[in-house]
Amino acid sequence: MKRIVTLFTLMVSFFLNGQTYENAESAEYDPINDQWLVSNGSNIIADDGNGNLSFFGTASANTGMEVLNGILYAVDGMDIVGYDLATTDEVMRLTITGAPFLNGLTNDGNTTLYVTDFTDKVIYAVDISDILNPSYTEFVSDTLDAPNGIVFDEANNRLIYVCWGPNAAIRAVAIPSQTVSLILNTGITNLDGIDDDAQGNYYVSSWNPARITKYSSDFSSSEVVPTPGLNFPADIGYNQTTDIIAIPMFTNVIFYDNSTLGTHQNDYNGFTMAPNPLRLGQKLTVKLAIPAKEQPELYDIAGKKVAVLQQVEGSSFSLWGHELGSGIYILKITTEDGIFYEKLIVE
């Protein structure tokens, strides 16, 4: 029987100054400093897994991250940036021109990074054999579905990526042929992150249902990882040495391992927000179970307020007519129970 303990709980306002989670999107283990690094919109948070947070220098990242050979590689807008783990110094920066939404990041264990573009359905290969002169090529021109998290499958020399949408697909790309194939349609809506353990099993985060699913190495079997209370789990990270999974969820990060169960509490789930993801031109409707103390507000990932939802009736609000670009936004909900933040994706 598994023992249940609280490994880490954190829910904080994203307006507070200092080391707080504002937009925790991707988690990666740092073996040099024995800590977790979390992309956090305009910065990177170093987390020791026990609630102690600090800034990782002045580094910034908003989505995927990967550690390779003492360097943390991170997606920062249209840039792929490298940071020295020992010093936090920036040692590489490469702009992928015109990429609207770089997202998941992985590496082949050697000299190549692979990054997904959620909007354009592209996978780029980044050559880091010389980090002073990196370069990139378009490795896959059409991923068929919007790609989110991505991982390198060394045993089969291929990339595996998870997709967005209903009955979301898990797909593979053969290296070097660049051939895209379907592994399976999951029956799950909106897959976000993927990582693997030392035994070759895969762990996938999803939004609906909000959970972590464990798949066998050949994806022939699956089981739900018993992590209750998840809310829009994003790009997870797996520490193969300790078997701990870090699960970022915007204003908090929780940790799960194979012998103990990490969980968090005090999430606010008394509302509906639909549709999510939101397509350009669609109307967003938010209904609260607890009366709002003020109108819900929408912020971009840099923390800039971009819209205020208008009250329709009672505790029902709507967003309509605002010129939102595709990307990730944060909905701020203020009720008598506190202030809460939820993730909205605009396609």
Whole-number Å distance between alpha carbons of 343 and 127 = 32
In this structure, is residue 266 part of a structural domain? no
Domain boundary pick from 261, 284, 308: 261
Are residues 163 and 48 part of one domain?
yes
User: How many domains in the chain?
Assistant: 2
Residues 246 and 101 in one domain: yes
Residues 166 and 282 in one domain: no
Residue 169 sits at φ, ψ, to 5 deg, of -90, 150
Together in a domain, 247 and 284: no
Q: Which residues pair with 75 in a beta bridge?
A: 80
CA distance 93 to 39: 16
Domain co-membership, 281 together with 152: no
Query: What residues make up the domain containing 302?
Result: 271-346
User: Tens digits of per-residue pLDDT, 179-228?
Assistant: 999 999 999 999 999 999 989 999 999 999 999 999 999 999 999 988 86
* Same domain assignment for residues 31 and 167: yes
Per residue of the chain (347 residues), what is the pLDDT tens digit? 222 222 333 333 333 335 789 899 999 999 999 999 999 988 999 998 877 899 999 999 999 999 999 999 999 999 999 999 999 999 999 999 999 999 999 999 999 999 999 999 999 999 999 999 999 999 999 999 999 999 999 999 999 999 999 999 999 999 999 999 999 999 999 999 999 998 999 999 999 999 999 999 999 999 998 886 788 999 999 998 888 899 999 888 988 865 443 333 334 556 788 888 888 888 888 888 778 888 888 877 556 788 899 988 888 889 887 888 888 787 878 777 666 767 788 88
Same domain flag for 177 and 102: yes
Q: Residue 337 corresponds to which tokens in the numbers above? A: 């129970």
- What is the token pair recorded at 40? 């956090």
Query: In terms of domains, do 147 and 285 share one?
Result: no
Report which DSSP code applies to 275.
Answer: S
Say whether the peptide bond before residue 291 is cis (omega within 30 degrees of 0): no
Among 261, 291, 320, residue at a domain's last position: 261
Q: Which of 261, 283, 303 is the last residue of a domain?
A: 261
Q: Which pTM value belongs to this model?
A: 0.74
Cis upstream peptide for 248 (omega within 30°): no
CATH number at residue 171: 2.120.10.30
Please report the pLDDT score of residue 263 as a whole number. Answer: 34
